[in-house]
Amino acid sequence: MAGIKEAKYIWMNGEFVPWKEAKIHVLTHALHYASSVFEGIRCYKTKKGSFVFRLKDHIKRLFDSAKIYRMEIPYSFDEILVACKRTVIENGLEECYIRPLVFRGYHSLGVNPLDCPVEVVIAVWEWGKYLGPEALEKGVDVMVSSWTRIAPNTVPPLAKASGNYANGQLIKMEAILYGFSEGIALDSMGFVSEGSGENIFAVKDGVIYTPFLDACILPGITRDTVIKLAREAGYEVREVMLPREFLYIADEVFFTGTAAEITPIKSIDKMIIGKGERGPVTKKLQEMFFSYIKGEVPDKYGWLEPLK
């Protein structure tokens, strides 16, 4: 896999630092205990200029994640919002991924993080199709993971915290090393939860199903977008507990996420889903989603945050 495409500057605690100089001490608390929360956001280039998709919702989730971990972000909501946009502009990018990270810095190395400073960095870089160049059209082959998703009241799934991705990495590595693009984790009850970095939807007999928050999912912003767009298009969307085998017999299954956007799934555990290609509902939702983010339809939900 290609390495990160470096940009010029990283916003570090209020200042722009050259990419290669954006460094921290090896005894930073977050490095040892995953005491950090973050966001993944996309900025899209459109005919009307660049827009950051649902920036306010992402920053809201960042502050929520920090609250769960009792971290006080030393900047206001608006300061982070402006800093995200300025980082894109400063780097001269028109379309990119935006990664704000809030972490406990260098001070002490006991488990107790409360005295460690809370630091904030924002990086941006160009990032293509997360699950491969053909994924959006052709779909991906995935497996149900042998790893269970983080359980309620353990590592809280509503926080987008770095610690969650210890579980995510196990799911992802297993899938990749077994020759799949992604893994689907089941929750601790055995119901469908989500991918290592995506929410999941299934379509059966024209109805769209997706796990509810009780399946230990991250409340995905793309998930919310797709639910709204699908209802707008007249589909019934049910948030339910999904048994694993429901995926096998679904007509269509797809992932949603900022990085993955809307990616069709063509097989699960080597079982062909539907016709083994992108289905009509997935295609329709992709069309609605991409025309929205490209600014081709009116921004009725106020999701397009102008970069400038």
Residue 96 vs 116, nearer CB to ligand PMP? 96
* C-alpha–C-alpha distance, residues 29 and 36, integer Å: 9
The one among 100, 257, 274, 279 contacting ligand PMP by CB under 6 A: 257
Beta bridge partners of 53: 304
The one among 184, 221, 253, 262 contacting ligand PMP by CB under 6 A: 221
- By CB under 6 A, tell whether 199 contacts ligand PMP: yes
| Of residues 203, 228, 199, the one with CA closest to residue 213 | 199
Residue 27 vs 213, nearer CB to ligand PMP? 213
Active centre residues (catalytic):
160
Q: How far is the CB of 16 from ligand PMP (least distance, A)?
A: 25
From the list 14-22, 172-180, 214-222, 274-282, the region that binds ligand PMP by CB under 6 A is 214-222
Q: How far is the CB of 122 from ligand PMP (least distance, A)?
A: 16
Residue 112 vs 146, nearer CB to ligand PMP? 146
Q: Is 269 left (phi over 0), alpha (psi -120 to 50) or beta?
A: left
Q: How far is the CB of 216 from ligand PMP (least distance, A)?
A: 10
Taking the alpha carbons at both ends of the chain, their separation in whole angstroms is 33
Q: How far is the CB of 107 from ligand PMP (least distance, A)?
A: 28
* C-alpha–C-alpha distance, residues 127 and 130, integer Å: 7
- By CB under 6 A, tell whether 258 contacts ligand PMP: yes
Interaction pattern, residues 32-71, with ligand PMP; x per rule: CB under 6 A? --------x-------------------------------
Beta bridge partners of 203: 208, 252
Residue 235: count of CB within 10 angstroms of its CB: 18
Look-up of token digits 């590592």: 155
Q: How far is the CB of 88 from ligand PMP (least distance, A)?
A: 17
* C-alpha–C-alpha distance, residues 307 and 83, integer Å: 11
Q: Between residue 137 and residue 176, which ones bind ligand PMP under the rule CB under 6 A?
A: 168
Beta bridge partners of 126: none
- By CB under 6 A, tell whether 183 contacts ligand PMP: no
Q: Pairing relation of β-strands 49-53 and 118-125?
A: unpaired
